[in-house]
């Protein structure tokens, strides 16, 4: 019986399934155990937002797999894991529907000033608030999708329902890869200049850090909406704050730069005032839904079972590792 460590809450069904076959330790709840308390025993780790550092990996001599409960892997020290022949896996596509739906929750909140309107009603306003709450219509507008993987493609599907035009940037695609007649593959500057809504769906890497900086923001149309449900470091939050304060842009963020300092408590490290009018912020919940938590959990557990039985797990991101 293997020993599995879970860093963050997962769907109860997934937890029960794991516990039926393995000894499970968890970092939360009444029986919480710290990583270093049980590290010498851990064969597998199921990780959501916790940062898995080199020291943590080195403290776990039996560890064979770090299974990410999600798509990103910037919170895992890949180099140390690879040096130890420890698989690192993700669950691409399992939460794509949830994230894409959340993108439009943020778009609509920003475009139709939902939060501001709700607060006005709570404050006792009704008719007097209407003149300042003029919303923006999505029908007939253009959405720019940066990163056209499974989530980006689902965003496109929803956007079609709103009657939006589609432009896409993805360095891994050429025009012949786009099978839909209504999707235009372009370059970043053109996307920024031609889009009314821009949404980010790329991983955080040294190359994508602050890809949306002050220069990029200046290329956006007046009144454009910027949405980020990927990773906070993709946008220069301080530069974005300047644009929102000037009332030239609005934004919907599910991630902020402060998460790079402390994933679980990023607000003290934030470079943007989350109370800005014209900004809607949610606490990194785009991938969370009743169904996605089950789908992502099942995908992560499948990777764990493959690694524990000596097979190469599906969706490994450090392909040079070899546990065979």
Beta bridge partners of 227: 199, 252
Is 284 among the catalytic positions? yes
Q: Where are the beta strands (DSSP E) in the chain?
A: 3-6, 23-26, 44-47, 65-68, 87-89, 142-146, 165-169, 183-185, 197-200, 225-228, 250-253, 279-281
Question: Nearest-CA neighbor of 23 among 8, 47, 2, 46?
Answer: 2
Q: Which of 231, 243, 257, 306 is catalytic?
A: 231
Structure tokens at 222: 């007046």
| 275 SS3 class | coil
Q: Which of 64, 201, 284, 315 is catalytic?
A: 284
Question: Nearest-CA neighbor of 1 among 18, 26, 13, 15?
Answer: 18
Is 30 among the catalytic positions? no
Beta bridge partners of 237: none
Is 259 among the catalytic positions? yes
How far is Cα of residue 68 from the mean position of the Cα atoms in its chain?
12
Residues catalogued as catalytic = 231, 259, 284
């Amino acid at each position: 019986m293997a020993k599995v460590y879970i860093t963050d809450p997962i769907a109860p069904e997934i937890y029960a399934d794991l516990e039926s076959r393995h000894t499970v330790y968890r970092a939360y709840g009444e029986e919480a155990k710290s990583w270093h308390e049980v590290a010498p025993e851990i064969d597998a780790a199921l990780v959501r937002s916790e940062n898995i550092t080199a020291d943590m990996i080195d403290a776990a001599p039996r560890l064979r797999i770090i299974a990410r409960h999600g798509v990103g892997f910037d919170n895992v020290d890949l180099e140390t894991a690879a040096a130890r022949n420890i698989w690192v896996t993700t669950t691409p596509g399992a939460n794509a529907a949830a994230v894409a739906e959340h993108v439009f929750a943020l778009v609509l909140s920003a475009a139709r000033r939902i939060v501001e309107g709700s607060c006005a009603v709570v404050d006792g306003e009704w008719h007097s608030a209407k003149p300042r709450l003029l919303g923006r219509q999505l029908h007939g507008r253009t959405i720019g999708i940066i990163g056209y993987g499974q989530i980006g493609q689902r965003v496109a599907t929803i956007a079609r329902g709103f009657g939006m035009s589609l432009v896409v940037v993805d360095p891994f695609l050429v025009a012949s890869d786009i099978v839909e007649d209504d999707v235009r593959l372009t370059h970043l500057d053109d996307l920024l200049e031609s889009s009314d809504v821009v949404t980010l769906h790329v991983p955080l890497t040294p190359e994508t850090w602050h890809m949306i900086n002050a220069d990029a923001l200046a290329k956006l149309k007046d009144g454009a909406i910027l949405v980020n449900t990927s990773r906070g470091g993709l946008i220069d939050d301080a530069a974005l704050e300047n644009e929102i304060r000037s009332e030239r842009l609005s934004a919907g963020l599910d991630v902020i730069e402060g998460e790079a300092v402390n994933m679980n408590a990023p607000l003290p490290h934030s470079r943007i005032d989350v109370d800005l009018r014209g900004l809607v912020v949610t606490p990194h919940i785009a991938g969370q839904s009743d169904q996605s938590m089950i789908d992502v959990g099942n995908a992560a557990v499948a990777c764990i079972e493959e690694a524990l039985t000596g097979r190469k797990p599906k969706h490994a991101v450090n392909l040079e590792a070899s546990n065979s």
